[in-house]
Structure 1
Amino acid sequence: MDNPADITLDRMRSRHRELASSIVRTPSVELVSSSVKRVLDQANIYLKLEAFQHTGTFKARGALSVAHSIPREELQRGLTGASAGNHAIAVAWAARQMGVPAKVVMQSTANPFRVERARSEGAEVVLADGGPATFAEAERLMREEGFTFVHPFEGAETTLGTAGVGLELMADVIDLDAVVVAVGGGGLISGVAAVVKQLNPRCLVYGVEPKGANAVSRGLAANGPVTIEKSDTIADSLAPPMSLPFSLSLIARYVDDVVTISDDDLCAALVIMQEQARLAVEPAAAAAMAGALGPLRQRLSGKRMAMIVCGSNIDAASYAKLHERGYPLVPTLFS
């Protein structure tokens, strides 16, 4: 197993330089919304806009980082991955950047918009039923057809890639008191937190996870990985069927707390992101806002803080339905 102690600043910086010519250096912008600032006692709030990354999410960083670590002879046989959507798109994109084929496995319930995005990046898409089945099919492709599996969140190479989000944020915004990050399997928060805590140990790092897909919270409580039989959340990109040792160990080491939020909170935060930040994002990218205005409110009030806006892969019709659901719920986060 990869060693969490190997995720050093030197290695993270080196990987960031290696990927720099292919990855968008996404902006960090101040949120000037008087409504959000009022609720958070005039906190200074910054948004790291990974929704503007290649493929529409931070996932491009991790997938390309893994691809760069694979020996060329093995890489030429192609890449595969298991995903509800965003990771599959990123693996397809990374394979295209490296000039190799991709055959990705997506859940049969995946949003058709995301399936088409993966295909548009040049991948062959295989549909499978449920989270465990997608991983099983990806393992078959690796075993029988020679593809290299790119895990959606687990492993040092993924963390080294996502660490670029933290490196850029900490360079752009000095003297942060706290950073808030959405949590699925932990690939994003492991990289961000490793950077933040090694550069500024006093800066707090908080994770925000859906109540219906809380594999990381349960894993932390159990002091080890857990598997969830069934995830139940609108934030499908935050709903892996398990937590795993490497990412969980980094979260335990560097993250100050992981809180959970409801789907109603996510929908309300989706509206707040659109009306107050002028950003139309997927539910996962509203998780940090939902956490900040909900369970983390007292801890963030008056602080100099940042939220990672992790992705924007959602079709207009789905977005409209979630926005409609969330609109009457906004007062619950603003009260």
Structure 2
Amino acid sequence: MENLTPTDNIPFQKILQAKENIRGSVIRSPLILLNENVPGKKIYIKLENLQPIGSFKIRGAGNALANLSEEEIKDGVYTASAGNFAQGLAWNARERGIPCNVIVPDHAPMTKLEAIERLGGSILKVPFDKWWEIIQTHHYKGMKGKFVHPVCDPAVIAGNGTIGLEIMEDLPEVDVVICPYGGGGLISGVASAVKSRRPSAQVFACEVDTASPLKLSFDLGKPSTCDYKASFVDGMGGKSVLESMWPLVSHLVDDSLVVTLEEVANAVKLLVERNRVVAEGAGAATVAAALSEKFAGRLRGNIVCVISGGNIDTNKLIQALEGKIPQ
């Protein structure tokens, strides 16, 4: 797929093509009402935690591989991922019969590491700062294979955009969509699809207050670096906004909604108790934002929360169900 100019939406035709490319390898995830009555709004949850790898990342990874030639992937593929994209790439690489190497930050959760290996991926752990450098440079010296970026690749973003396509098919009158924000690949794809069909819809990012570089970047009007602290919400948040993604994200995203670790933990618990849905921190964060009194005046009407994944360590899930903030 060709590169984008800085403020392009992902073309709707590319998202439609991605839908065909990944047909049969992903499920069309359900869009259901959250079983929580909130005056003035209807909150829906888009259940990407039900994908074969427990995360939406299978969509973008599958479309990225579909856009690569046999020559490009003859030595396999590799990526830098905290877990979910790595699983998506490993799953699709296994289907293609090619090797997959994954560079992970040293705080990546065991649940995700075990899943990567179960899917045939080989893991290399590096310190977080080194991992983030790979995210920025798109390269790791000495690693064989084709690098597939988990965020910036237009084919990955188009694959993610199929989530927005499904939302519009199921709820054409959507008013608000909330996506967790890690690098911007998910929300850029979803916003491209949603706003192509309903320009009046708002698309908000969601971040946790221990890692909210997008909110800071919106406040300062440029890609910025924040104070970062690792937490159980490992599927989103970083130290900074990728400069290569800032023009696209700032063009498509209406704002970032910042929630606390306590709010996210409460949302993990609520999803299990009310809807029998297991969500990891990044997925539950969108529900935390939709329910937060801080944003009550901004979030009205039909609201869709993208539950991006369900790959949470069992002990952390237990802590959340006990009313604690997982450590």
Return the TM-score normalized by structure 1.
Answer: 0.88
Structure 1 counterpart of 2:84: 86
3-state SS of paired residue (1:306): strand
Query: Superposition RMSD on alpha carbons, in Å?
Result: 2.2
Q: 1:46-57 residue pairs with structure 2 within 5 A?
A: 46-57=44-55
Structure 2 counterpart of 1:66: 64
3-state SS of paired residue (1:213): coil
1:42 is displaced (CA, Å) by 4.8
Are 2:156 and 1:128 equivalent residues in the alignment?
no
Deviations 1:66-125 (A, max 9, x none): 222222212121111112221221221121122210011112222112111000000111
Amino acid at match of 2:250: A
1:139 is displaced (CA, Å) by 7.0
Q: 1:1-335 residue pairs with structure 2 within 5 A?
A: 2-3=4-5, 4-5=7-8, 7-31=10-34, 33=35, 36-37=36-37, 40-133=38-131, 135-136=133-134, 142-228=140-226, 230-294=228-292, 295-301=294-300, 303-326=301-324
In 2, the alpha carbon distance for the partners of 1:140 and 1:102 equals 16
3-state SS of paired residue (1:312): coil
3-state SS of paired residue (2:188): helix
Q: Which runs of 5+ in 1 are unaligned?
A: 328-335
Return the TM-score normalized by structure 2.
Answer: 0.90
3-state SS of paired residue (1:41): coil
* 1:225/1:99 CA distance change after superposition, 3 Å: farther
Q: State which drifts further: 189-198 or 220-229.
A: 220-229
Amino acid at match of 2:299: L
- Asked if structure 2 preserves the Cα contact closer than 8 Å seen for 1:58 and 1:311, the reply is yes
- Asked if structure 1 preserves the Cα contact closer than 8 Å seen for 2:83 and 2:112, the reply is yes
- Asked if structure 2 preserves the Cα contact closer than 8 Å seen for 1:76 and 1:101, the reply is no
In 2, the alpha carbon distance for the partners of 1:285 and 1:130 equals 22
Q: Which runs of 5+ in 2 are unaligned?
A: none
Deviations 1:167-221 (A, max 9, x none): 0111011211111111111111111111111100111111111111112222333
In 2, the alpha carbon distance for the partners of 1:137 and 1:193 equals 22
In 2, the alpha carbon distance for the partners of 1:226 and 1:147 equals 31
1:5 is displaced (CA, Å) by 1.9
1:10 is displaced (CA, Å) by 1.4
In 2, the alpha carbon distance for the partners of 1:142 and 1:96 equals 22
In 2, the alpha carbon distance for the partners of 1:139 and 1:199 equals 34
In 2, the alpha carbon distance for the partners of 1:133 and 1:18 equals 29
* 1:144/1:216 CA distance change after superposition, 3 Å: same
In 1, the alpha carbon distance for the partners of 2:139 and 2:203 equals 37
* 1:194/1:319 CA distance change after superposition, 3 Å: same
In 2, the alpha carbon distance for the partners of 1:300 and 1:228 equals 26
Deviations 1:20-59 (A, max 9, x none): 122211111122x2xx32xx31522221111111211011
Identity, in percent, stands at 28
In 1, the alpha carbon distance for the partners of 2:254 and 2:87 equals 31
In 2, the alpha carbon distance for the partners of 1:136 and 1:29 equals 37
3-state SS of paired residue (1:179): strand
In 2, the alpha carbon distance for the partners of 1:204 and 1:141 equals 35
Amino acid at match of 1:152: P
3-state SS of paired residue (2:152): coil
Q: How many pairs are equivalent?
A: 321
3-state SS of paired residue (2:199): coil
